[in-house]
């Protein structure tokens, strides 16, 4: 079935990945996780240990996010070449726009119902695991954070995979784009790890998170609406 191909702009892909990387769910959990290690881990002065655990968490997030992206790509690739292709872009574009509006709603009217956040059961499960922190547990926490934070982190990623699936690029270029996207995506997490690993106080980081969560939601919401519009209009 014929479909309109979409060109991939590397600068736009970079901005989208970075925007996705500063989502409040991922940033908040990274600060909470490292804060727990520094305050309750009993090894706050051992930078190598903090970096070892932290990079394990980041690597686990990277691999999980990459694999999920490839799964979404396969699904989008199939749907865009099936009988469903005519309405698929409207379904994805509309879903992204709706997700963007919900994020913007949380900037101005947080008390209204419907949120795109990590569910309470996810927080509880991850918090229990933090008490058993090891390299293996850090990897598991990275996987669970990525899965439980799907409502917050995935909409923009799904939109990006839909665009890549319409690019008509060969598989090796597609894989390169996903690797690049996910490397940009984890940069904010790496930055937080370095800042906290080098001695930034947990209280200061939580205060920074509190002050900037609204801005993160606003940027993410605007990006979702823009990507949704681009998918529908092309």
pLDDT tens-digit profile of 171-230?
Answer: 899 999 999 999 999 999 999 888 887 776 777 778 887 888 888 888 888 888 988 888
- Decide if 189 is inside a domain: yes
Confidence label for 135 from pLDDT (cuts 50, 70 and 90): confident
Alpha-helical runs (H) found in 6-108? 10-21, 24-40, 47-79, 85-108
Please check whether residue 210 lies inside any domain of the structure.
yes
Q: Does residue 5 fall inside a structural domain? A: no
Residue 1 lies in a domain: no
- The predicted pLDDT at position 178 comes to 95
What's residue 83's pLDDT? 66
Q: What is the pLDDT of residues 10-46, one digit of tens each?
A: 888 899 899 888 888 888 888 888 887 777 665 555 6
Q: What is the pLDDT of residue 63?
A: 95
Task: In whole angstroms, give the CA distance from residue 31 to residue 22.
Answer: 12
Residue 120: is its pLDDT beyond 70? yes
2 in any annotated domain: no
Per-residue confidence (pLDDT) for residue 179, from 0 to 100 = 96
Of 29-33, 82-86, 126-130, 183-187, which range is least confident?
82-86
The CB density around residue 15, as the number of other CB atoms within 10 Å, is: 13
Range of the domain at 226: 10-233
In a domain, 41, yes or no: yes
pLDDT the model gives residue 60: 93
Tell me which DSSP letter residue 133 carries: -
Question: Quick check: is 4 in a domain?
Answer: no
What is the domain count for the chain? 1
pLDDT of 1 > 50? The answer is: no
Question: Residue 221 CA to chain centroid, in angstroms?
Answer: 13
pLDDT, position 12: 86
Closest CA to 130 of 23, 38, 25, 22: 38
- Supply the pLDDT for residue 187: 92
- The pTM score is 0.86
Q: Are 86 and 1 in contact (CB under 8 A)?
A: no
Given pLDDT bands bounded at 50, 70 and 90, which one contains residue 85? Answer: low
The mean predicted confidence, pLDDT, of the chain is 82
Asked if 26 and 145 count as a contact pair (C-beta separation under 8 A), the reply is yes
Q: In the predicted model, what is the mean pLDDT of residues 107-129?
A: 77
**Is residue 58 within 8 Å of 190, Cβ to Cβ?**
yes
Q: Does the residue 3 lie in any domain?
A: no
* Cβ pair 227, 160 in contact under 8 A: yes
Pick from 106-115, 134-143, 190-199: least confident:
106-115
């Amino acid at each position: 079935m014929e479909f309109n191909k979409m060109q991939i702009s590397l600068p736009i892909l970079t901005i989208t990945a970075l925007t996705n990387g500063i989502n409040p769910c991922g940033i908040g959990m990274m600060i909470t996780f490292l804060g727990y290690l520094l305050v309750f881990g009993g090894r706050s002065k051992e930078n190598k240990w903090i970096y070892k655990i932290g990079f394990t968490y980041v690597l686990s997030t990277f691999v999980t996010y990459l694999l999920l992206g490839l799964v979404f790509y396969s699904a989008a690739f199939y749907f865009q070449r099936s009988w469903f292709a005519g309405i698929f872009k409207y379904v994805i574009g509309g879903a992204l726009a709706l997700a963007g509006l919900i994020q913007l709603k949380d900037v101005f009217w947080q008390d209204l119902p419907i949120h795109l956040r990590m569910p309470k059961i996810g927080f509880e499960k991850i918090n229990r695991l933090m008490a058993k922190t090891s390299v293996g547990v850090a990897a598991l926490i990275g996987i669970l954070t990525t899965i439980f934070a799907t409502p917050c982190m995935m909409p923009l990623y799904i939109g990006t995979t839909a665009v890549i699936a319409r690019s008509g690029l060969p598989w090796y270029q597609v894989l390169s784009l996903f690797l690049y996207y996910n490397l940009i995506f984890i940069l904010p997490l790496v930055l937080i790890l370095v800042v906290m690993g080098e001695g930034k106080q947990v209280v200061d980081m939580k205060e920074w998170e509190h002050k900037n969560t609204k801005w993160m939601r606003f940027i993410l919401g605007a990006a979702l609406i823009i990507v949704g519009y681009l998918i529908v209009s092309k």
